[in-house]
Amino acid sequence: MEEEKKNVAEEVKAEVAPAPAPVEIKVSEMNEEEAKLEKADAKYTATNIQVLEGLEAVRKRPGMYIGTTSSAGLHHLVWEIVDNSIDEALAGYCTEVDVTINPGNTITVIDNGRGIPVDTVAKSGLSGVETVYTILHAGGKFGEGGGYKVSGGLHGVGASVVNALSEWCEVTVRKDGGIYFIRFENGGHPVGHLTRIGDFSDGTNGTSVTFKPDPTIFLDTTEYNYEIIRDRMRQVAYLNRGIKISVHDIRSENKEEQKHESFCYKGGIKEYVLFINHNKTKLYDEVIYCEGTAPITLASGNTAHVYAEIAMQHDDGYASNIYSFCNNVHTHEGGMHETGFRDAMRRVINSYAREYKFLKADEDDLTYEDITEGLTCVISIKHPNPQFEGQTKTKLGNSEVRKIVSGIVGEQLNRFFLENPKLARTIMEKIVMAANARMAARKAREDVRRKGALELTTLPGKLADCSSKDPTVCELYIVEGNSAGGSAKNGRNRETQAILPLRGKILNVEKAQAKRIFANAEIGNMITAIGGGIDPEFDISKIRYHKVVIMTDADVDGSHIRILLLTFFYRFMRPLIEQGYIYIAQPPLYKVEYHGKQYYAYNDEQLETIKTKLNLKAGFSFQRYKGLGEMDAEQLWETTMDPANRKMLRVTLEDAIKAEQIFTDLMGDNVEPRKEFIHENAKFVKNLDI
């Protein structure tokens, strides 16, 4: 798809300062192998069966093991090796992990754990190191006799996958007084066997892994992003209190440009909640914390233990932010630990509200949405045998966890309220206010619906809909201004492209109460056109378009409108972003006419490239577009809407916590974080029109 080409990533950097940080571009083009399979002859015999030896399967279908070969997959290699070190820490044998980005974009991960076993594995006939790095599903994390009580790596494929997808990989193990080394090349093939290369006597066991990603696998980029690695390592440090994780970027020869940061949090997830809320107006300074351990019976009949900890704090905002983890894996889709938390919160809060007269006898129970309005909560459990399910395998399915978390939170939160009556009153007043606002919003929603703005059977008059009813091929362009909307309507593909013009800037939903939001005409038009409703009843299966394209001018006002729309989608239709249905159109900034031909440039660099290639010095027509309205229907189609030529950015959520912070900083009431963001990012602003 043209809209997802590789050079798009560079164009993101040219966005004006308010562009949201959680936006990341993913390239999802069908590779040649898949295309051949799709067009293959219908005959299917034994000759079609392939048996892939060793690590060939990983190199043949890397996406099956790391999700993607784009930037996200590249960084996933780091997570796999770090997870092995963290598993050592969870087992109680590792206190420090070092991650270094070296010159040439190689990665080194060093820990002070026990060291990978170096003796011979009977089943493979190879050393433990060679077995782990060359055989899929080999490791110490299987069964009750494994080397780990809890593990984020479930399938024993992490180390071998990293090796398979690397141009080369080197492993050094310090264990029992000996230093051992092995090198792998060309997709995981060992260069000789594990060799003892030295001795040590200071008792510092551990493992060091250095690898270079294979550029024939990672075609988009092999360049590591320091901020992505740093943020992930900081999160891991929060989730595992007391473990020191250091991150280094030594790619520059200039030592002043090298980066070094270390993370170690004795408060663990309590400090994590404070970090997430650092730019919010908190209702109270304390972080409410619950923790506990509960026994479970394994399939063998043996007993193991589940550890759960929960930290939470309210702010004065309206958004609910619940983040859950199991064995350091972010469970984006929730699961039984979140369900247990929900059960306990409803039970404790409603009981307290009735006993202390925050609710009258004839009033309905407070809802979970009331209770969690303005609540930031981190739920982290460690489980010896987690069962992940869901579309992305990030939903925890262990049913016993629901009761465990519910019991821990229920008992300890109730005790906290009894011991802290003043703080409990502050929380209850916030929750009751949220309930009143919910009822007022419901009335406003019903009023708006009666007027037709939310009535799903009546499409807004401003919408120029497409003729196709197949949402998988339909696109909705949300266009800034009636002038551009008119050009888009005239230039579009009427079968698959619908146009919804916006009049001015929509409401900033980060600051507005629900009553105002539902009464806003422009927001009502979008809700109706998209067709899936609005949070908390949003149903993605009912949406009418699988591409919702934000098309605004390439100036400051256009960027502001874009982030207002993204804020609305993030707060009220988040599944659209999570499933990759939101796009940002990329209209050109310049048009060059030379010898009867037209050339379009999307930034200053492209304009200079065109000038150089055409050797332009004099005698050519040059136009800078100040807005979409300056383009006629034909120009808008061929530059911005034609699937054969257009460039579009797909908006995705790689890190929900970082996204939450960015939207709060940019669109919230607190001015200082916005000033800081502009100060830090002003250098990236290009083509600024004021």
Residues annotated catalytic, as ranges = 480, 553, 555, 557
Q: What is the CB neighbour count within 10 angstroms for residue 638?
A: 17
Cβ proximity of 346 and 365 under 8 Å:
yes
* Residue that is written with structure tokens 């369900």 in the block: 339
> What is the signed CA dihedral for 128, 134, 139, 142, rounded to 10 degrees?
-140
> What is the signed CA dihedral for 80, 84, 90, 91, rounded to 10 degrees?
160
What is the 3 state secondary structure string of 504-570? CCCCCCCCCCHHHHHHCHHHHHHHHHHCCCCCCCCCHHHCCCCEEEEECCCCHHHHHHHHHHHHHHH
Count of alpha carbons within 13 angstroms of residue 516, beta-carbon side: 8
Beta-bridge partner residues of 282: 315
- The alpha carbon dihedral of 186, 188, 189, 195 has a sign of positive
Q: Where are the alpha helices (DSSP H) in 278-367?
A: 336-355
Separation CA 186–CA 72 (nearest Å): 22
For the chain, what is the largest distance between any 2 Cα atoms, rounded to a whole number of angstroms? 85
Q: What is the CB neighbour count within 10 angstroms for residue 372?
A: 23
Cβ proximity of 325 and 405 under 8 Å:
no
* Residue that is written with structure tokens 């938390």 in the block: 341
The one-character DSSP state at 102 is E
Separation CA 264–CA 222 (nearest Å): 29
- The helix or strand, by DSSP H or E, that contains position 480, with its residue range, turns out to be strand 475-480
3-state secondary structure of 296: strand
Q: Return the beta strands (E) in 164-233 as ranges.
A: 166-175, 178-185, 189-190, 195-199, 206-213
3-state secondary structure of 639: helix
Separation CA 55–CA 65 (nearest Å): 11
Separation CA 621–CA 284 (nearest Å): 62
φ, ψ (nearest 5 deg) of residue 673: -60, -35
φ, ψ (nearest 5 deg) of residue 502: -105, 145
